[in-house]
Structure 1
Amino acid sequence: MSFWDIVTLTTRFSELPKAFYTPIDPQPLSNTRWVTWNSDLAKHYGFPDKPTDELLQAFSGQAVPKQFAPLAMKYAGHQFGVYNPDLGDGRGLLLAEVASKSGQVADIHVKGAGLTPYSRMGDGRAVLRSSVREYLCSEAMAGLGIATTRALGLMTSDTPVYREKQEYGALLIRMADTHIRFGHFEHFFYTNQLDQQKLLADKVIEWYFPECAGQENPYAMMFNQIVDKTALMIAQWQAVGFAHGVMNTDNMSILGQTFDYGPFGFLDDYQPEFICNHSDYQGRYAFDQQPRIALWNLSALAHSLSALIEREDLEQALNQYEVQLNGYFSEMMRKKLGLFTRLPEDGAIFDTMFELLAANKVDYTRFFRQISMLDKAKPQEVIDLFLDREQATQWLDSYIARCERELNSEGEPVSTAQRCEKMRQVNPKYILRNYLAQIAIDRAEEGDFSELERLAELLKKPFDEQPHNEHYAKLPPEWGKTLEISCSS
């Protein structure tokens, strides 16, 4: 019996009208073979622990199962602030949806599947370099507890693909709660297909926001949910020092999942104006611009929903974005510093900390992990991260004095050990630094996938000490801080 006869699949998106997509089969690559398989994620959705030849043939398009309904979604979007009507799945295909053991439904999407009507000037392919980066970063974000798409598996091939140089075609199997993005609603609005847009909104409510159904203003409630989930996602990005790099509206998930990993980057030195995308010449998507750009994108979505939702309701939801974002971010940063109660001097402690981190170009992740170790390490190890040790000492003294005023729910002082233990649960020791990803890519391109697998396993538990992997927590070499990452993939 075929595996596809026993797994629970649906093809509900393909049952929508043809205005939503174009049916198209994957175009197989030459000599496709497995690079890696995400066993943990596979188990969650009822797939085998290990990849099989049957799975490879199905996902690569060599033998499309009858249970699949491959299609390329049609959408639009604002790219670097400019509306582009000619977007859609240009190299990816939605194959089907699968239900987990708990009943959760997720899209099975393959990236790099060949030409579609929306490929524009592209070749419809993905390369191993970018596919490795997406595989690793989606695992890193999941490990950090941030909503994200996930990668089920990765394949490579002998098919040449030309970017800045000749590379080889790869296929990434991406799992997501949905691939519906802001750009779907924009497409139907700007083409005046308002009946289709209403149908899309109805399906989004039915599939993802059932609590909105039957309410007086279900579409307004849906938009409120999207705003809130986006605010949470952005707060999480800012808290862990993650820069997405290409926050176009076609890369914004309606469920607030981190989506479409391209020229991303985690902060090394704390630089608020950090630009991870070498192609972003104006710095539109710089790290410190992400909260503002998310609101811009939500405003674009609101405009496209104006036929379904009253302007007053849209504006009310948008006005809540900064409140929600600041609330989430404040809560996260307080946990990172171990300040669980609120005192008047807290604002000054945070402001001075960020000023010192920026002025001294302190490694963002190392700093927070180090102050999580004050129960086991000397304060000097925090001070030594700064060039200006005098100011660092003054700040650390005031911070420790503030921590000593922390009380638990019974009104008793919180010990340093108790505080630091909680802080280590939110301040990662391991992140996906660009240089670590590059080392894994270099080895993968030589046919050695062991570093990719080691790194993926490491990033699933970023808060654990993992003594045998201590070298992955080292500060990056200078060359690792200057890697140029662009949209090319």
Structure 2
Amino acid sequence: MGKKLADLEYTNRLYKKAPFLYAQVKPTPLKEPKLLHLNTDLFERMELDPSLKDAPSFLRFLNGDLDFEGLFFGASFYSGHQFGHYVPRLGDGRAITLAEVKNHLGEHFELQLKGSGLTPFSRMGDGKAVVRSSIREYLASAHLKALGIPSTEALAVITGADDVYREEIEKSAIVLRVAESFLRFGHFQYYAHTNQKEELKELVEFAISHYFREYHDHPNRYVLFYQEVIKRTAKLFANWQAVGFCHGVLNTDNMSLLGLTLDYGPYGFIDHFDQDHVCNHSDHEGRYSLGNQPGIGMWNLERLGEALADFINEEDRKRTLETYPPLFLYEYRRVLLEKCGLYKMHLDDEDLLRGMLNMLVTSKIDYTQFFRALSRYEKGSLVLNGFDNPELKEWLARYEQRLVIEEEDESSRHEKMLGRNPKFILRNYIAQMAIEDASMMPLVFQVLTNPFAEWEDFHEWSKPAPVKYKNLSVSCSS
């Protein structure tokens, strides 16, 4: 039997230790709230009572319309570099933290309403979210987790009767998103730049003792803490690159301390491989293009290092930061090789991968479909099902020679690769279908959270956008 809402232990370790991090604020509930979708897997991991799914109190909870003992509502302070320019005061402009829930395994789930109204940090905004952006975040967070990429999650998405003004009038929505922690690089930047030394020290010590426990009592814990953040960030960005995911707005306030994919705005998955691909039509300079993402990761880590200057001297920060490029390249190479069914290291691997990416650029082959087809490649054929061009055949001849080194039977290789290369990715048009027709949400969610399955009835969703959806664009309001 799961727990009722009132039975949950609404602890919040961060609030108890660092109340200065939050401004207390009450949510603005939506009018006529209606549940669009519930993430039942996350619901069960949080150990909630199954009867809650249909309970009016649960919908009120998702709407920020109920109080329980120990529950608090708070928006946090942070700053950050937005498109390279430092903005001294940002904060949760449309997100309100409820509390933290702990299950019997000791896992902590921080709960946060996104789109629940004005906060002290809303600036010129209204603090609300629309169905379009909320469904995109809800689907993407579950999809990336299913792909094996660290991400925040979302328990549910609801809609309301309120009108919200963006490029046009849209319907309101709230996402209840969940993570072990929503701490960002920008939290540390805020207290460093405002010279709040005691608060910054408390925040750093809290982060180490709760999320990087293995270093808590180490005499060199600050450097080790920074190193671990660098390592997690390098792995995250390598996995994004390997699957063809563009975040869209990699400002330092959108960078998770725990190496999670955070703040889904104008994200996008590539169709064909293009280093210059920009998924955010507001990014006119291409700062956050696919090819720029890895370097931006390092740039943002350098800004975090500067915020930690009172704890780590410049020489140690520089030396630690310089581990990022080899960490990123190692992980990126490893993941790409696994996508190719290659597990043994070889001197020519880098050249083989470079040749593959160059071939994908010039041939305009769909990136995801290429790897899925490669997962069924028959040795000796020099043919990839669905694709046929001279550049591909030339690369497949090199790939053939490399497969000999693996000494693995064909069926075993196929099985491993099919479990590594998704058939489905969250292409923009698939999200758009769910946005336009909420009745499709259960099917879309099911396919995207099982992206390696065949789903023959939905085979068309594995293809690039049909003509109807070819010119979809996303911006920061997405």
Q: Distance in 2 between matches of 1:345 and 1:385?
A: 25
Task: Tell me which residue corresponds to 1:463.
Answer: 452
Of 385, 388, 394, the match for 2:387: 385
Shift in alpha-carbon separation, 1:223–1:371, aligned structure 2, 3 A: same
Matches within 5 A, 1:359-378: 359-375=362-378
Task: Tell me which residue corresponds to 1:305.
Answer: 308
SS in 1 for 2:292: helix
Of 438, 450, 456, the match for 2:439: 450
Deviations 1:417-465 (A, max 9, x none): 221211111111111011111111111xxxxx22111111111111122
Shift in alpha-carbon separation, 1:378–1:461, aligned structure 2, 3 A: farther
Residue 483 (str. 1) matches residue 477 (str. 2): no
Q: Offset at 1:3?
A: 2.0
CA contact (8 A) 1:434 1:481 kept: no
Task: Tell me which residue corresponds to 2:66.
Answer: 63
Matches within 5 A, 1:97-108: 97-108=100-111
Q: Distance in 2 between matches of 1:216 and 1:2?
A: 41
SS in 1 for 2:279: coil
- Moved runs in structure 1, 4+ residues, more than 4 A? 375-379
CA contact (8 A) 2:155 2:177 kept: yes
**Unpaired segments ≥5 residues, structure 1:** 407-412, 444-448
Residue 328 (str. 1) matches residue 328 (str. 2): no
Task: Tell me which residue corresponds to 1:410.
Answer: none
Once the two structures are overlaid, the 10-residue window that deviates more, 391-400 or 342-351, is: 342-351
Deviations 1:84-127 (A, max 9, x none): 11200111101000112311112100001100110000000000
Q: Distance in 1 between matches of 2:215 and 2:261?
A: 23
Q: Distance in 2 between matches of 1:268 and 1:128?
A: 25
TM-score normalised by the chain length of structure 1: 0.94
SS in 2 for 1:10: coil
CA contact (8 A) 2:12 2:99 kept: yes
Q: Offset at 1:404?
A: 2.2
Q: Distance in 2 between matches of 1:205 and 1:24?
A: 28
Deviations 1:113-161 (A, max 9, x none): 1001100000000000000000110011010011000110011000110
C-alpha RMSD over aligned residues:
1.7
Deviations 1:280-321 (A, max 9, x none): 000000011000000000000001110111222211210100
Task: Tell me which residue corresponds to 1:446.
Answer: none
Matches within 5 A, 1:17-416: 17-49=18-50, 50-375=53-378, 379-382=382-385, 384-385=386-387, 389-406=389-406, 413-416=407-410
The residue identity in structure 2 corresponding to 1:32 is P
Deviations 1:52-90 (A, max 9, x none): 311111231222223311100110000000001120011
Q: Offset at 1:223?
A: 0.7
The residue identity in structure 2 corresponding to 1:331 is R
CA contact (8 A) 2:363 2:391 kept: no
CA contact (8 A) 2:75 2:97 kept: yes
Q: Offset at 1:15?
A: 1.9
Q: Distance in 2 between matches of 1:169 and 1:59?
A: 14
SS in 1 for 2:452: coil
Shift in alpha-carbon separation, 1:18–1:44, aligned structure 2, 3 A: closer
Residue 434 (str. 1) matches residue 428 (str. 2): yes
Q: Offset at 1:47?
A: 1.8
Deviations 1:146-194 (A, max 9, x none): 1000110011000110001101110100001101100000000000001
CA contact (8 A) 1:245 1:264 kept: yes
Shift in alpha-carbon separation, 1:34–1:280, aligned structure 2, 3 A: same
CA contact (8 A) 2:422 2:452 kept: yes
Task: Tell me which residue corresponds to 1:424.
Answer: 418
CA contact (8 A) 1:130 1:262 kept: yes
Number of aligned residue pairs: give it. Answer: 475
Residue 4 (str. 1) matches residue 5 (str. 2): yes
**Unpaired segments ≥5 residues, structure 2:** none
SS in 2 for 1:9: coil
TM-score normalised by the chain length of structure 2: 0.96
Q: Distance in 2 between matches of 1:3 and 1:359?
A: 56
CA contact (8 A) 2:110 2:182 kept: yes
Q: Percent identity?
A: 38
